[in-house]
A and B are shown apart, each in its own frame.
Chain A
């Protein structure tokens, strides 16, 4: 039951610990428990991935404790990020995040760029476009032809405006030069349910989110929105949308990136220790199996590589939201370059 109690009191204990801890020498990092603050709620994709990678990193750190807590609210996870940003740069407070936190600044959640973090990317699941199982559209070409005949008539479901799936849908519209009637949903699951029920004719979400419905024969996959196709067990090959519409390469892929970050001004030894543990964890069977079972593309990007990915995501999201009139702060004022 002690473990039990610890988990329950986690948020409180962690807060107390952090408040009381003085800055100490870093050469034996980690010498006390690390707290990973996930900015999205418990049970979601970001939370699940973070809990999993932290459990593996605990092992890599020879049993050091990492407590994962959730600190939600604000805009684009700004509440959790602001909290971690206000903690000492000693590597004892990490932030669990996903690609969508790059919207926090343009939406007025906080006033920092995404590069205040050094991010460790575990991975994400690729997006694809599917239609209702009994749809008349057998291929992406059918769908695009129909959409060109009647612009704006085909109902397309995706999560809320400015979300990663909406960005993928926009990119598809731009790359294939078509226009859909975009119907926003509060999350991927309701968007998919609507496609199953026929409320929307097509849906764009990730493979991880869709695969059960595809396996159940409720959705028919048309194309992956990535340069490569995908072979789904029991279903067969899902071609890449790039095959028929090469222009898509100009706009896609826009990939999910789930992982965690440490303050960029943390000592180099801390970052090195984290990188080492992260690499061991990424190589573990638990992570590989999770990736396989859930159709995640594992990344493992750190340092400059992940910085580049996140800077691109930031530019893309920020300017899309600004163009949609859904941003409150001009990305230019934040110094975010146009994509």
Chain B
């Protein structure tokens, strides 16, 4: 099928969906619902797509796809709302957005932060879509080359980098938090041989710690306790700045946007790894290449833009192995696969033969979904910022109730409420000792990946560790980890600084 036919199918799909008021209503509605899902603690993109799968069973497949993708895009974007406004990330994916988003809101630029997030997410989704259409064959080869060695190193890199970036105090505290998370993640049946570890014979611990209650406990509860204890308002009075996209700011940060989109697509394409890491890696890359790394974490728009662009670019990335080989690249993409199968569409190589226009239609759906997200976002931002005007005594109990509901709703499992509470109190104590919390959550999320793949790599190599440095991608990851760790050591930092000044002096 020629490029022109594909372009025709793409344009045709967009026009036909735009002319159908029902489709327009669905894409706007699903996108709105997605934003709500992303914003509410405990409701995730994965859950949202899963639930919509049933609802859309009766629709045609194109309409269903429109609803599901709009939900996915909206939920990834929506997670940034509570991150920015309350410093309580709605999803692990948006934890990196809180780094600069919350300081911006705290100094009265909440509206601006939301506006930038909306624009960055919009651009990120579109760039992800372009990568999906243009670069699929290339990216899928690299992503499929990942074996246990690379997965293990990628997980460790994710934990280390979130620890490095988050630390308000000593960097090592971030790493400690990350490794506490890693330790917590081994509780339960081990995923390979099924032995119970640290379960103390309690059936509730058998399936391990659920991520959602840990996430809610770790992010929401310390914030609630702190606000009650200090009696401080959530944020200062918001100057209702412009919420519409700032073309100038976006243009100035173009290099961050392009790089973040590449990082997002790449990480999204690796099966089983998704938005959770992409935001952090992209944020880290932005900080280390910026001329003002010291501004990161104090409300620097470039940081927020990088994290949000990568998050949403991840969506297109995650769809690459799904569409080309039927392998979902992220947890929400797993749900999407299930939903498509309900409609008799099995994503994979056969799809391009049985339905040659599918890719073009998918691209059209992504364009409409990101447009709907953008419209919803621009309409909502102005209203959502008003949340900060609600007095804490009214607002905090609402957050608390939502946290409890969110923890329970996922598996309807009462043990998750206790888990949330215990993690919450522990997280508060850690915060009081100036330990960052996000690395802990990332540790719990990525821990199983690190643990399982390390053990599997040892099984594959029958105890031989050479695979960790003889494979090109694993060597790069080792180098990245080593660089991240060593660059934080005072001796090496001073040495590097001296080297740079000497070099500068010589060239001058």
Q: Which residues of A contact B (CB under 8 A)?
A: 1, 3-4, 7-8, 10-12, 15, 41-44, 47-48, 51-52, 55, 68-75, 78-79, 83, 107-109, 155, 160-162, 181, 183-186, 189-190, 192-194, 196-200, 211-213, 215-216, 218, 234, 289-290, 293-294, 321, 324-326, 328
Q: Give which listed residue, A155, A197, A211, A218, contacts B146 with CB less than 8 A.
A: A197
Nearest chain A residue, comparing its CB with the CB of B191: A186
Q: Given A7-B54, A73-B210, are A216 and B459 neighbors across the interface (CB < 8 Å)? A: no
Residues of A within 8 A of B145 (CB): 197
Interface flags, B327-351, vs A, CB<8A=1, else 0: 1100000111111011010111110
CB of B398 within 8 Å of the partner chain: no
Smallest beta-carbon distance A36→chain B, Å = 11
Q: Which of A55, A184, A216 contacts B325 (CB 8 A)?
A: A216
* B412 at the binding interface (Cβ < 8 Å): yes
Chain A residue nearest to B50 (CB atoms) is A42
Sample 29 A-B pairs with CB under 8 A, ordered by A number: A12-B409, A42-B47, A43-B336, A43-B337, A51-B53, A70-B50, A71-B412, A72-B207, A73-B415, A78-B203, A79-B411, A108-B206, A109-B206, A160-B193, A161-B194, A162-B194, A184-B192, A184-B193, A185-B192, A190-B272, A194-B148, A198-B147, A200-B460, A211-B348, A212-B347, A216-B324, A293-B341, A293-B346, A326-B194
For residue A108, give the distance in angstroms from its CB to the closest CB of chain B: 6
Knowing A160-B193, A183-B460 touch, does A42 contact B335 (C-beta < 8 A)? yes
Please name all residues of chain A whose beta carbon is closer than 8 Å to the beta carbon of B206 when the two chains form the complex: 74-75, 107-109
Residue of B nearest to A209 (CB): B326
B466 at the interface (CB under 8 A from A): no
| Extra A-B contacts (17), CB below 8 Å, given A4-B55, A11-B412, A216-B349 | A1-B29, A51-B342, A70-B50, A71-B413, A72-B411, A73-B413, A74-B207, A108-B203, A108-B206, A160-B191, A161-B193, A183-B460, A184-B191, A186-B452, A293-B344, A293-B346, A324-B194
Q: Is the CB of A215 within 8 A of B350?
A: yes
CB of B192 within 8 A of CB of A328, answer no
B interface residue count range (under 10 / 10 to 19 / 20 to 34 / 35 or more): 35 or more
* Cα-based distance from A199 to B453 in the complex (angstroms): 12
Contact with A along B187-198 (1 / 0, CB 8 A): 001011111100
Q: How far is the CB of A65 from chain B (nearest CB, A)?
A: 12
B395 at the interface (CB under 8 A from A): no
Nearest CB of chain B from residue A103's CB, rounded to whole Å? 9
Docked-complex contact A161 and B192, CB < 8 angstroms: yes
Cα A126 to Cα B348 with chains together (Å): 20
Q: A161-B193, A184-B456, A190-B272 are in contact. Are A11 and B409 (CB under 8 A)?
A: yes
B200 contacts partner chain A, Cβ-Cβ < 8 Å: no
Q: Determine the chain B residues whose CB is within 8 A of the CB of A12 once the complex forms.
A: 409
Please report the C-alpha to C-alpha distance between residue A194 and residue B49 in the assembled complex, in whole angstroms: 27
Cα of A197 to Cα of B413 in the assembled complex, Å: 38
Residues B333-373 near A (CB distance < 8 A): 334-339, 341-342, 344, 346-350
Complex Cα distance, B345 from A290, in Å, reads 10
Please tell me if the beta carbons of B192 and A186 are within 8 angstroms of each other in the complex.
yes
B486 at the interface (CB under 8 A from A): no
Q: Contact: B51 with A199, CB < 8 Å?
A: no
Do B203 and A52 touch across chains, with their CB atoms under 8 A apart? no
A193 touching B192 in the complex, CB below 8 Å, given contacts A42-B47, A79-B413, A212-B350: no
Q: How far is the CB of B49 from chain A (nearest CB, A)?
A: 8
